Structure 1
């Protein structure tokens, strides 16, 4: 039994086809079949069965596939770390949403790059926490920055920052001069819904339902930035997390007001990984640098202007 045999077998299980794997590996279908047969002879049990279209793992094959797939991902990760050590650099692969780097990582990325000019930084965009988890499981990402929701199997979560909820409104709106918004007042807003199937939307709707509040909505968006911009244009009201990227001088967004909603529990955001103790030192340092820059007062103007006077809203790290 060799690593190449196991790699070929897991690839066949994933693809359901010997010929497809042969094309991917640049070899003959017979060569792929021989690798699988070598495993079957050594183990003394059938691992694949023929189907009208391709092949599928037997019950024994499923057991080996699960174990081999997990082991190969870890092994490939370890081999990558050894190559990085040999080259004297390294690679940090981050998967997250499209606007996350701007809002949460800009200061951390700059600080990290100054210390590690030779490290490769790879940012992969995904549109949901589930897709980020899949990237971690597949070994195509080291770190995932997500909105913290329910724990996921095989993933370790580390909250970094708490984001208080605010109501984004256009200056001149009847609510714009308020210092805070109560839960009952949200029932009358022209609600801009957050991204469908997102953790933030699920948490918000959960809180609003618990409080007996059901605001009317005729608008939905694909990301938090769009919700804030539509509110600034006067097209509705957005209940959103107070993002570091929007903590700018009032002059930058003179038509925008963010009003705190203290009755809503803060939303947590942070890192997800497969295993912290399996990460390379350079990946750990990147994660810690981003967290440190976010949770220090100098990172993005943590205190900001008073409530109701502009985009600045305080945050707490944890």
Structure 2
């Protein structure tokens, strides 16, 4: 059993087609089959089921695929770091981010870190949800991810760095915009601009509103918090959002009215194992949090 055997086997399981993998690897289909047969001889089990259109892993094959994929991802990560050492590069930090992460949370931290370490390669992996950011970390596609802290995910550690209070975003000329605070009960009649379905922030909000007997109805939905704020500014409706850094500083068309009685939303870093991160990755994570502290964002 060799690394090449495992790499080819994982590729076949993902593509579900021997000839497709052969084309990708620029080799013959029989060469791909030999890798699979060698694994089957060593395990003593059938790993692939031949179907009319391609192949699929058997139960035994799926067990091997999962283990091999996880191990190969970690090995590829290690080889990448060794390549950095060999080529003299100071290091690479891969950060999974959502649409609003860098703008609202990382700007000052990235600037400070870059000034301190201009030779470090910073790679930002864009993902459209916290869940996908966590998956990028778990699959070794990212070292760190800034996420909305949610339910535990096997293979990933999450740390809350900030607690963001919930606010109602309304136009200043809206009657609710003249209030100092609003209660959850007063949200029942708003023209709600809803957050992305199954997003961590929406699940958190709906769960705690239900405890107050409130269920919001909506005819408008958005993919991110910034768009919800913009639509509230345009008067399309009102949005219930976490108070992000940089929002509500100075006069404007939109007012952010604090909502009493709702637990804040946690945000912070995620990694596979904190004690396995490189010193540079740890420094980057600490720098981002330090700069946010300086900006006066509530913890």
Q: Name the TM-score class by shorter chain.
A: over 0.9
Match of 2:130 in 1: 129
- Cα deviation for residue 224 of structure 1 reads 0.7
Match of 1:79 in 2: 79
Contact 1:167 1:238 in 2 (8 A): yes
Q: Which structure 2 residues correspond to residues 7-156 of structure 1 after superposition, within 5 A?
A: 7-86=7-86, 87-156=88-157
Higher mean alpha-carbon deviation, 128-137 vs 254-263, is at 128-137
Give the Cα separation in 1 of the matches to 2:218 and 2:73: 44
1:218 partner SS? strand
> May I ask how many residue pairs the two structures share in their alignment?
298
Contact 1:102 1:245 in 2 (8 A): no
- Cα deviation for residue 216 of structure 1 reads 4.1
Match of 1:181 in 2: 182
Give the Cα separation in 2 of the matches to 1:216 and 1:58: 45
Match of 2:276 in 1: 278
2:178 partner SS? coil
Match of 1:263 in 2: 261
- TM-score of the superposition, structure 1-length normalised? 0.88
1:211 partner SS? coil
- Cα deviation for residue 265 of structure 1 reads 0.3
Match of 1:315 in 2: 298
Q: 1:23 to 1:280 in 2, by over 3 A?
A: farther
Question: Where do 5+ consecutive residues of structure 1 fail to align?
Answer: 303-313
Give the Cα separation in 2 of the matches to 1:36 and 1:216: 53
Question: Where do 5+ consecutive residues of structure 2 fail to align?
Answer: none
Contact 2:248 2:255 in 1 (8 A): no
- Cα deviation for residue 4 of structure 1 reads 1.1
Give the Cα separation in 2 of the matches to 1:243 and 1:69: 37
Higher mean alpha-carbon deviation, 258-267 vs 280-289, is at 280-289
Give the Cα separation in 2 of the matches to 1:75 and 1:277: 18
